[in-house]
Amino acid sequence: MSSDWVCALHGRVHPYSSAHVEALSQVASRARVPLWAPVPLLAQWTLGGLASCGDERTGATATVLALAGPSPLGGPADLLLVAEEPGVGLGARIAGIDGLDPGTGIGGAPDAKILAAGHPTPLWRCESAEDRVAFVGEALGVWLWAVLWPPAAELVLLEHVELHDLRHQTQVAIDLPIGAASPRLP
């Protein structure tokens, strides 16, 4: 028995659910993939929601954490951090592209570098819808996506960004500031 369904175009589709950040520890406890958060948060940034793919029996095969704050060039910005097993497709959906994974345009010198779980992690710009910019890399054996609105907000990744896996940082998760619900979660 499974709560997944099969799409003729994309194959197996995992159930998707979004939650208020108050459910963060519950989502983190059942995730098979990291639940990434920048710790410390960038100045004046807040959490705006989270979501996952999967169910209670199989665990979350993808997680997304929504953040909002000021863009380095002024105005508001949104950042969604996605961790997913290959073939899930949540990161591609949030980036606004067809398919399940980032595609073949990844390679060469990375466009950004962050720390994920204490390890230097390169990120490459990948295809995205025109109203956002998407970066993708690999951390802890799964895809790591960073999708930002508006595209100029990509400068956020030039700051010192250190991601921590909230599956192992429950006290840190409690101390993160909560803001308005993100309109960017699908």
**pLDDT tens sequence across 118-132:** 999 999 999 999 999
Residue 182 DSSP label: P
pLDDT score, position 12: 53
d(CA 92, CA 125): 12
Predicted local confidence at residue 169, as pLDDT: 72
Is the whole model's pTM more than 0.85, yes or no?
Answer: yes
CB 151 within 8 A of CB 24: no
What the block records as the tokens of 10 is: 């994309």
pLDDT class for 8, splitting at 50, 70, 90? very low
Which structure tokens are listed for 23?
Answer: 């459910």
Q: How far is CA 81 from the centre of its chain?
A: 2
Alpha-carbon span 149 to 68, nearest angstrom: 9
Read off the pLDDT band of 97 (50, 70, 90): very high
Q: Going by C-beta distance under 8 Å and a sequence separation of 6 or more, which residues neighbour residue 183?
A: none
Whether residue 175 has pLDDT greater than 80: no
- Amino acid 105: pLDDT: 67
| Residue 131 DSSP one-character state | T
Task: Let me know: does 122 contact 80? Beta carbons within 8 Å.
Answer: no
Model confidence at 10, pLDDT cuts 50, 70, 90, reads very low
Predicted confidence at residue 95, as pLDDT, reads 96
pLDDT of residue 14: 62
What's the pLDDT at 5?
45
The rounded distance, in Å, linking the Cα atoms of 63 and 84 is 6
Structure tokens given for 103: 């595609």
Give residue 174's pLDDT. Answer: 61
Note whether 94 and 82 are within 8 A (CB).
Answer: yes
Give percent of the chain above pLDDT 70: 89
Structure tokens at 151: 């595209």
